[in-house]
């Protein structure tokens, strides 16, 4: 019973985070996600314990609440990446498995998974993954080695370091083309559109889409 209660509170924190991300953190918006008002008691508990504050219809997450929600969102979105990248599932198939994973992942295991996946910046749906300590440490050490795709010169070959976008359409397009961290690409031309070679296939993409790609400093082939 306590286990289910914890799951319900985690789900509420996830919803609050999503609403906060979309700048729509109000009681009326929450009711759209919770027509049966199952979370009402938990909301009052959260308020009493300093996780959030009420101001009429508006809800404000305290720093404590944001930290708790951030941890849950980080676990969930890393679990989605694990299911997609390691198990090969499509983005639409990752949600249920991720929901199960996120409740059983110990903090140290979350960091290990993040390292294993190469510190991904976004989930398979394009939503940002909150940084962990491991991400901050690696970012400091590799900042000078990772550069935007636009810094490549024609003829250079490089490996993709990360895809940095919250635009789901852009993320979906890049993933469908095989542009994933670790993949090798060669820049064929920059204008009027980007022409790249990946897996012996020539691909043209808009410059705006290319802006989402970060690469390891390239070598010339």
Domain chopping of the chain, boundaries? 2-61, 66-142, 146-220
- C-alpha closest to that of 81 among 109, 135, 118, 132: 118
Q: b vs e for 124-155, b when ≥16 Cβ sit within 10 Å of the residue's Cβ?
A: bbbbbbbebeebeebeeeeeeeebebeebeee
Which tokens belong to 62?
């305290």
What is the pLDDT at residue 35? 65
Fold that domain 66-142 belongs to in CATH: Diphtheria Toxin Repressor; domain 2 (1.10.60)
What is the pLDDT at residue 69? 94
Contacts with 145 (C-beta within 8 Å, 6 or more apart), sequence order = 161, 216, 217
Location of structure tokens 């009711």: 31
For residues 187 and 154, the answer to whether their CB atoms sit within 8 Å is yes
The backbone torsions φ and ψ at residue 218, rounded to the nearest 5 degrees and listed phi first, read: -80, 165
DSSP string for residues in 107-165: HHHHHHHHHHTT--SB-TTSPBPPP-HHHHHHHHHHTTTEEEGGG--TTEEEEEEEE--
Which tokens belong to 146?
């990772």
Q: pLDDT by residue for the chain (221 residues), tens digit each? A: 445 567 788 889 999 999 998 889 999 998 887 766 677 888 989 999 999 999 989 999 999 999 999 999 999 899 888 888 877 777 777 777 777 776 667 777 888 888 888 888 898 888 899 998 888 887 666 656 778 888 889 999 999 888 877 777 888 888 888 888 888 999 999 888 899 998 888 888 888 888 888 888 775 54
Q: Establish whether the linkage from the previous residue to 164 is cis, with ω within 30° of 0.
A: no
What is the pLDDT at residue 4? 57
Fold that domain 146-220 belongs to in CATH: SH3 type barrels. (2.30.30)
Four-CA torsion 8, 11, 13, 15, nearest 10 degrees: -130
d(CA 42, CA 9): 7
What is the pLDDT at residue 1? 45
């Amino acid at each position: 019973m306590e286990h289910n209660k914890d799951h319900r509170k985690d789900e509420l924190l996830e919803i609050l985070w999503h609403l906060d991300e979309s700048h729509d953190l109000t009681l009326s918006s929450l009711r759209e996600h919770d027509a049966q008002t199952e979370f009402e008691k938990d909301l009052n508990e959260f308020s009493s314990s300093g996780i959030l504050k009420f101001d009429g219809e508006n809800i404000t997450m305290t720093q404590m609440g944001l930290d708790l929600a951030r941890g849950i969102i980080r676990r969930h979105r890393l679990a989605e990446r694990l299911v997609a990248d390691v198990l090969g599932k499509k983005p639409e198939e990752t949600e249920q498995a991720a929901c199960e994973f996120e409740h059983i992942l110990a903090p140290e295991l979350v960091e290990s998974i993040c390292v294993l996946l190469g510190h991904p910046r976004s989930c398979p749906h394009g939503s940002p993954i909150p940084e962990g300590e491991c991400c901050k440490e690696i970012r400091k050490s590799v900042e000078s080695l990772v550069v935007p795709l636009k810094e490549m010169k024609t003829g250079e070959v490089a490996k993709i370091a990360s895809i940095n976008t919250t635009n789901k359409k852009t993320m979906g397009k890049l993933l469908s083309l095989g542009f994933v961290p670790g993949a090798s690409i060669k820049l064929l031309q920059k204008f009027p559109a980007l022409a790249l070679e990946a897996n012996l296939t020539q691909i043209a993409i808009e410059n705006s889409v290319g802006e989402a790609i970060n690469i390891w400093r390239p070598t010339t082939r």
